[in-house]
Amino acid sequence: MMPSALFVQIVLDKPLAQAFDYAWDVERLGCEPAVGLIVSVPFGSALSVGVVIKVNTHSDLEIAKIKSVIDVAPLPPIDGGLLSLMNFASQYYIHSLGETIVPSIPQMWRKPERWDKLRLVAQSSVSKKKKNETASASEKFIGVDQLNPEQKNALNILLQKENLGAFRAILLQGQTGSGKTAVFLNWLASILEEKNSQVLLLVPEINLTPQLERRIKAYFPDKKIALLHSGVSEKQRGISWQEAMLGEAQIILGTRLAVLTPMPNLRAIVVDEEHDPSYKQQEGTRYSARDLAIWRAHDQGLPILLASATPSLETWMAAQLGRYEYIRLDSRAQGANLPKVHLVNTQDPQNRSQHSPLFTKIIEGAITKSLGEKKQSLVLINRRGYSPVISCPACSWMSKCAQCSSCMVMHKAGALSKKTVLSCHHCGLVKPMPNFCPDCGNADLKPVGQGTQKIEDVIENAWPQATVLRIDTDSSRRSKGAEELFQKIHEGGVDIVVGTQMIAKGHDYQNIGTVAVLDADSRLYSPDFRAAERLFAQLIQVAGRAGRSQQHHQESGDIYIETQHPDAAVFQYLLRHDVDGFLSFTAKEREESKLPPFSYQGLIHAEGKSIAKAIQFLSELKAQLVERGLVHKGVKIYDPVPKTIMRLAGSERAQLLIESNSRKHLQELLEAIDRLLRQDSQGRISKATRIRWLIERDPIAI
Ligand code: ADP
Ligand code: ZN
Ligand code: ZN
């Protein structure tokens, strides 16, 4: 008897909503078709990698026109839980299923020419369980019996058995150092007692330092951990992903992309620092990993724990309203006191230091005092490089980037480049530092403003006896990177650390006396309505770096914040370490102005050769939406505007903001926009105007 013919529907990494029919030859491919298999197929004139989403016994297409699946990756099918998540993400973020799912597969598995070799490896190697290297003594293992009463109580709530196997979302809120990590690691340990179970631990982009990694290894010496983050090599990422997919890795530890990992035996999810903006993907399918993690937990009936010292307003409100369970840790685990916050008004001439116009007397005095007490100081400035702009005092020329509407930053010669250069932080363009003004020939060009390099110089001059270390993405790019630099701080060979926000995250410093935040206002006055929320979270995190010391129980450290607006609400709540006060104040503000989470937003991006065309494209879109009666009551479409950085790498960009009081109406409208724009586009480029467009759901930068 002839076997009945088999067909599969396959999605590809194309902005095309449909799936494509292919024939499946069981004998030649050596396996039965299954939903979730990764395959290679001919598409156009080339081979493409896709994923099977349906198996059929017939096809509506003319048989002669149907091409065949060429090869199958030597992997099990992607699990149903992940496929379900991908389907949701594709719909919610208005991206095709193929565009959502295929790029989430590590590159190693997207190269069919390597599958033969990987097949051999899979057959020959019985997966060797590597033992985790023993953690160094400094990585503390806090077992259940060592937890303080508050932590034990939190753990008990998490372990409530009656909720087993059901969706639960829990916010674990507690200041930095309150012992949240110790609580959720103990919780995960108990979940992992079930044989073959898997847990997902998501961490923000920058937080994933070997320090946390080692701590986790210390908790789980005999579990296999799959690491999935941008610091992991492509090859290792491919292996980790496979181990997760095969169920061999029990702990999947990674940044936002890890939420899209196949994990057939997933039992629980933790999102650490759930408020962190790095959970939002800013290209391709612009998903929020935190939101997807919550959706995945809900869909699969799993518990998810969101941990933060400064929860996002969205999460905090859900907890306040009882939609999420709410667990608080209110004292610092090691008993250290909270650091004292000082606001330093830079407008007050009394505060200026006579040594350097960059420092206020108060901060200068605090650093000197900490030096005397053999304690370290952290100085934060949120800009790398020497000076954010070079200008000519004679003709007012400025170092503008030729490709962007922003200025090129001066970087002094150092380990990164042998010469002093100008570098654009938006498009990456690098030019030699000019000796003369390109406009008038003046040789006296002036660096304006300061970045980490300049502050480093100033500090070295002010305290010649001190050892100064700079940590930013430039200084950490070489050799072993940031970890090596952080190691130096822990060893105590450094007196003053200068750096960007990078130095504030997740590091467990033990001997910090002074933290100084320079020019905090630069992050407050931005058109983004979340600017204050973000600054508050960052400052609380920075403050958490001070006063962690075990040896100095009684002393709490000091944090100094430079601002011209000490009365601003964000600073006043900070002064009192009042996270809930700040969030409830922010909630009121948002409610009054109907901003998220009291409304829902979508953003249409448009970019092309000229800003006029991009704006026109969006204006016409808006007019059409209105004309066709697609805009419900309660939906507001703003006028198109140029983006803050209007020109980027040679193209000019505009955006159209849509706000709605109903999720459903927003979704319907965005889907309608997608259909409308697609009619006259190739992919996401308008055929008539060559404008490239993109629809974004829940934007976090407006
Ligand atoms: P968080 O995640 O809230 O910042 P951690 O769990 O990292 O807090 O704890 C902060 C510090 O306190 C860590 O060095 C940790 O090892 C230590 N710690 C946590 N819980 C305890 C405890 N019960 N006893 C002693 N030290 C603890
Ligand atoms: Zn000039
Ligand atoms: Zn540029």
Q: Quick one: tokens of 610? A: 């000229």
Ligand 1 touching residue 333 (CB < 6 A): yes
Query: What is the CA 534 to chain-centroid distance, rounded?
Result: 13
543: confidence class by pLDDT, cuts 50, 70, 90: confident
Question: Which own/partner contact pairs does 362-367 have at CB distance under 8 Å and 24+ positions apart?
Answer: 362/560, 363/514, 363/516, 363/518, 363/560, 363/562, 364/462, 366/513, 366/514, 366/516, 366/558, 366/560, 367/459, 367/463, 367/496, 367/514, 367/516
Of the listed ligands, the closest to the CA of 310 is 1
pLDDT at 126: 45
The SS3 assignment for 379 reads: strand
pLDDT at 289: 98
pLDDT at 20: 94
Nearest ligand 1 atom, CA 185: 6
Calculate how far, in angstroms, residue 444's C-alpha sits from the geometric centre of ligand 2. Answer: 9
Ligand 1 touching residue 699 (CB < 6 A): no
When pLDDT is averaged across residues 595-618 and rounded to a whole number, the result is 97
Calculate how far, in angstroms, residue 542's C-alpha sits from the geometric centre of ligand 1. Answer: 17
Nearest ligand 1 atom, CA 329: 3
165: confidence class by pLDDT, cuts 50, 70, 90: confident
Ligand 1 touching residue 179 (CB < 6 A): yes
Of the listed ligands, the closest to the CA of 395 is 2
Per-residue 3-state assignment (H helix, E strand, C coil) for 634-696: CEEECCCEEEEEEEECCEEEEEEEEEECCHHHHHHHHHHHHHHHHHCEECCEECCCCCEEEEE
Nearest ligand 1 atom, CA 309: 3
When pLDDT is averaged across residues 357-374 and rounded to a whole number, the result is 90
**Exposure pattern of 540-559 as b/e (b: 16+ CB <10 Å)?**
bbbbbbbbbbeebeebbbbb
Among 638, 613, 632, 635, CA closest to 527: 638
Q: Quick one: tokens of 688? A: 């008539």
The SS3 assignment for 516 reads: strand
d(CA 36, CA 79): 7
When pLDDT is averaged across residues 180-184 and rounded to a whole number, the result is 95
H helices, E strands: number in the chain:
18, 30
Output the residue whose Cα is nearest ligand 1's atom 8.
Answer: 179
Whole-number Cα distances in Å, 453 to 379, 403, 473: 12, 25, 12
Calculate how far, in angstroms, residue 296's C-alpha sits from the geometric centre of ligand 1. Answer: 29
Calculate how far, in angstroms, residue 385's C-alpha sits from the geometric centre of ligand 2. Answer: 22
When pLDDT is averaged across residues 113-120 and rounded to a whole number, the result is 87
Of the listed ligands, the closest to the CA of 437 is 2
Output the residue whose Cα is nearest ligand 1's atom 16.
Answer: 140
Ligand 1 touching residue 508 (CB < 6 A): yes
For the chain, the distance separating the N- and C-terminal CA atoms, rounded to the nearest angstrom, is 63
pLDDT at 480: 61
- Contact of 6 with 27, CB cutoff 8 Å: no
Nearest ligand 1 atom, CA 183: 6
Calculate how far, in angstroms, residue 281's C-alpha sits from the geometric centre of ligand 3. Answer: 21
Altogether, the residues listed in the chain come to a count of 702
Among 219, 250, 252, 223, CA closest to 237: 252
pLDDT at 421 over 90: yes
H-helix segments, 93-233: 97-101, 115-124, 149-159, 180-191, 210-219
Among 315, 333, 337, 335, CA closest to 324: 315
**Exposure pattern of 490-503 as b/e (b: 16+ CB <10 Å)?**
eeeebbbbbbbbbb
d(CA 183, CA 298): 22
Among 275, 271, 177, CA closest to 508: 177
Ligand 1 touching residue 547 (CB < 6 A): no
Among 38, 121, 124, 46, CA closest to 86: 38
d(CA 526, CA 528): 5
When pLDDT is averaged across residues 165-191 and rounded to a whole number, the result is 93
- Partners of residue 423 on adjacent β-strands: 409, 430
Ligand 1 touching residue 177 (CB < 6 A): yes
- Contact of 503 with 376, CB cutoff 8 Å: no
Nearest ligand 1 atom, CA 272: 2
Ligand 1 touching residue 175 (CB < 6 A): no
What percent of the chain is predicted at pLDDT more than 90?
72
Calculate how far, in angstroms, residue 653's C-alpha sits from the geometric centre of ligand 1. Answer: 46
Strand pairing class (376-380; 512-517): parallel
- Contact of 292 with 85, CB cutoff 8 Å: yes
d(CA 69, CA 88): 26
Among 21, 42, 39, 44, CA closest to 29: 39
Task: Report the residue among 148, 181, 540 best suited for mutation to probe ligand 1: largest number of ligand atoms under 8 A from its CB.
Answer: 181
Calculate how far, in angstroms, residue 398's C-alpha sits from the geometric centre of ligand 2. Answer: 8
Sheet hosting strand 496-499, strand order edge to edge: 340-345, 558-563, 512-517, 376-380, 496-499, 468-471
- Contact of 384 with 500, CB cutoff 8 Å: yes
pLDDT at 137: 47
Ligand 1 touching residue 180 (CB < 6 A): yes
- Contact of 640 with 656, CB cutoff 8 Å: yes
Of the listed ligands, the closest to the CA of 397 is 2
pLDDT at 429 over 50: yes
Task: Report the residue among 136, 140, 187 best suited for mutation to probe ligand 1: largest number of ligand atoms under 8 A from its CB.
Answer: 140
Ligand 1 touching residue 505 (CB < 6 A): no
Of 471 and 659, more confident: 659
Q: Quick one: tokens of 269? A: 């999810």
Q: Quick one: tokens of 202? A: 């998501």
Of 507 and 540, more confident: 540
Tell me: the pLDDT tens digits for 382-411?
899 999 999 999 999 999 999 999 999 999
Non-local (6+) Cβ contacts of 96 within 8 A are 11, 14, 15, 16, 17, 90
Calculate how far, in angstroms, residue 651's C-alpha sits from the geometric centre of ligand 3. Answer: 10
DSSP 387: B
From the CB of residue 416, how many other CB atoms can be counted at a distance below 10 Å?
A: 15
- Contact of 614 with 654, CB cutoff 8 Å: yes
Ligand 1 touching residue 270 (CB < 6 A): no
H-helix segments, 125-206: 149-159, 180-191
Tell me: the pLDDT tens digits for 231-287?
888 999 999 999 999 999 999 999 999 999 999 999 999 999 999 999 999 888 899
Among 204, 198, 265, 262, CA closest to 229: 204
d(CA 110, CA 116): 13
The SS3 assignment for 39 reads: strand
Ligand 1 touching residue 146 (CB < 6 A): yes
Output the residue whose Cα is nearest ligand 1's atom 5.
Answer: 179
Average pLDDT of the chain to the nearest whole number: 90
Of the listed ligands, the closest to the CA of 212 is 1
d(CA 445, CA 396): 10
Ligand 1 touching residue 456 (CB < 6 A): no
Non-local (6+) Cβ contacts of 69 within 8 A are 8, 10, 22, 23, 24, 25, 29, 33, 39, 40, 41
When pLDDT is averaged across residues 478-493 and rounded to a whole number, the result is 75
pLDDT at 355: 65
Residue pointed to by tokens 């290792």: 236
Radius of gyration over every alpha carbon of the chain, rounded to an integer in angstroms: 27
pLDDT at 655: 97
**Exposure pattern of 191-224 as b/e (b: 16+ CB <10 Å)?**
bbeeeebbbbbbbbbbbbbbbbbbbbbbbbeebb
When pLDDT is averaged across residues 207-212 and rounded to a whole number, the result is 68
555: confidence class by pLDDT, cuts 50, 70, 90: low
Ligand 1 touching residue 254 (CB < 6 A): no
From the CB of residue 451, how many other CB atoms can be counted at a distance below 10 Å?
A: 24
Calculate how far, in angstroms, residue 395's C-alpha sits from the geometric centre of ligand 2. Answer: 4
Counting Cα atoms < 13 Å in the Cβ hemisphere of 578 gives 12
Output the residue whose Cα is nearest ligand 1's atom 15.
Answer: 179
- Contact of 51 with 36, CB cutoff 8 Å: yes
pLDDT at 1: 45
- Contact of 297 with 144, CB cutoff 8 Å: no
Please provide the DSSP assignment of 42-105 as one string.
EETTEEEEEEEEEEES--SS-GGG--B--EE-SSPPPPHHHHHHHHHHHHHTT--HHHHHGGGS
Ligand 1 touching residue 142 (CB < 6 A): yes
Tell me: the pLDDT tens digits for 123-163?
655 444 455 555 454 567 788 889 999 999 999 999 987 66
DSSP 237: H
